[in-house]
Structure 1
């Protein structure tokens, strides 16, 4: 009995000491520190987007402001045929945009099939902040944008119109893989110069962005003009919370790019975040999501591209895709904004 009392006393003392030391370690910041701030985004045009987002993060700004600021860069660049102004139209010649945004509190906003407004991401944020809804679409989205002060714009550039008229000659719809052209000089974000080569009209290169700010909070944004020459009214994964984008501030965030129908079928970004919740590192979580797509229909998956990008609460990041060619940009300081190649499922024969 005496030994048992001594054992219990020692155990209780040890437990109390462990609890006190754990609390002290947390209070003193001795626990592992997060790699923050950090911003990551899809494709080569993620470099200039990251650069803009980093300016917000470096000033200890909110991740939400950073991702909105970042993706507005490609939205406004007429050289990019997959996002915003200059995006290729649907088969009726109408440029329609999809976007969503999500903050650290789980608030989210989305627009789909939005016309006549370059910065769909900013309209999506206002849906989040000024309405009781998550998603507004079509003419309703444009009416809401106008009510918020956005002016009507013509988003169809001469280059995009020319490509559409060329497409009309055959009206074939055969999306190609990895249309986005790498046209940087190394990793220098200042040398971005997308090329419009023959065949580039069949694209699907969304920009998705995730950021972890100095306060340790996560947010994400996703914006696109969708597949070129899609059926009018077609909406992909980009504006759908849980498909094209998902953020859980306790765990991490994920975004996707590529053929949205395949992402929707597995609720891809939500799946990636839930896998990270279970302990998967970001890259492995993205890989598992890609393999789910393959499992659904390997033949179909072999003919298209889908990529996932993820960032966890620790500031760890990773990506994985179906086919070789998916690039993503990572910025961790003003002078470290680099382009990386994602690992991929289908190996070259």
Structure 2
């Protein structure tokens, strides 16, 4: 039994995951429920997730989300989805009810409507903060920094493992831009015989290295989650040079409930497992 989330704002989500896991809930339900609450909260939108997230360069909020179970072939994702405050729930429906694994743009929106999701006007997806930031972007061409993809991994009482990710993407991105988050092996990966991993950071760069798949493969070969994350980060830094490395944070969880992280920047994360009564707040330092 264990749960882990990216960034400090994942704390309430991981607390809820802990309670749901202890109540005997399935890992996929756990991830979906905890993720959706963050996605649908305007107050967490400034962390570049869901409702309240920063819009693209045309002023429209477009969200990416994915969910992956440890069982082979169990993956679903949406990208550039407009007007839905809980994209992770749509991603799960893609996994369970679509013959496809990834739907984007108008296709993702059409599927969401067919599945009964309410599509809201764009102004309902913005918060006062994100709307004001967009106006400043238009007037001053001043952007805001943000790569805070929410990644959650849950290991339940039955030994099921599921990973989910969600993001509204780079603030003021080009319409239709998709980062690493909804791409299997890049933003997330899970294998029920090994564990799962998720990535956060500069998605345009992250997707070129398939780090989540790499982390899980190293765990399969015997590495601990911590060793696997650090090995993958070191490999990336060898290719980019440490001083030129992009922003990336990695989290991993194996089937024993052990967690691991690595990051090119200071990286807060939260986790819980059987050895702790409460959710832990931790910070992974960047390499010196």
How far apart, in 2, do the equivalents of 1:229 and 1:245 lie?
Answer: 24
How far apart, in 1, do the equivalents of 2:244 and 2:32 lie?
Answer: 31
Q: Determine helix, strand or coil for the equivalent of 2:196.
A: strand
Q: Pick one of 103, 107, 112 that aligns with 1:145.
A: 112
* Residue-by-residue CA offset, 1:175-228 (whole Å, 9 max, x unaligned): xxxxxxxxxxxxxxxxxxxxxxxxxx3211001011111111211100011111
**Ranges in structure 1 where 5+ consecutive residues have no aligned partner:** 1-36, 174-200
1:97 aligns with 2:97: no
Deviates more, 1:137-146 or 1:163-172: 163-172
Q: What root-mean-square deviation, in Å, do the aligned CA atoms of Structure 1 and Structure 2 show?
A: 1.5
How far apart, in 2, do the equivalents of 1:315 and 1:117 lie?
Answer: 33
Correspondences of 1:67-216 after superposition (within 5 Å): 67-80=31-44, 81=46, 82-106=48-72, 107-153=74-120, 154-172=124-142, 201-216=144-159
How far apart, in 1, do the equivalents of 2:249 and 2:90 lie?
Answer: 25
1:328 aligns with 2:264: no
Q: Determine helix, strand or coil for the equivalent of 1:308.
A: strand
Conserved 8 A contact 2:261-2:284: yes
**Ranges in structure 2 where 5+ consecutive residues have no aligned partner:** none
How far apart, in 2, do the equivalents of 1:155 and 1:296 lie?
Answer: 39
User: Normalising to structure 1: TM-score of the pair?
Assistant: 0.78
Larger Rg: 1
Partner in structure 1 of residue 23 of structure 2: 59
How far apart, in 1, do the equivalents of 2:166 and 2:229 lie?
Answer: 20
Distance change (3 Å), C-alpha of 1:339 and 1:256: same
Conserved 8 A contact 2:196-2:253: yes
Partner in structure 2 of residue 294 of structure 1: 237
Distance change (3 Å), C-alpha of 1:214 and 1:147: same
* Residue-by-residue CA offset, 1:105-156 (whole Å, 9 max, x unaligned): 1300000000000100000000000011110000110111111111112311
Conserved 8 A contact 1:319-1:343: no
Q: Determine helix, strand or coil for the equivalent of 1:265.
A: coil
Q: Determine helix, strand or coil for the equivalent of 2:119.
A: coil
1:260 Cα deviation from its structure 2 partner = 0.9
Q: Determine helix, strand or coil for the equivalent of 1:240.
A: coil
Q: Determine helix, strand or coil for the equivalent of 1:273.
A: helix
Q: Determine helix, strand or coil for the equivalent of 2:3.
A: strand
Conserved 8 A contact 2:257-2:273: no
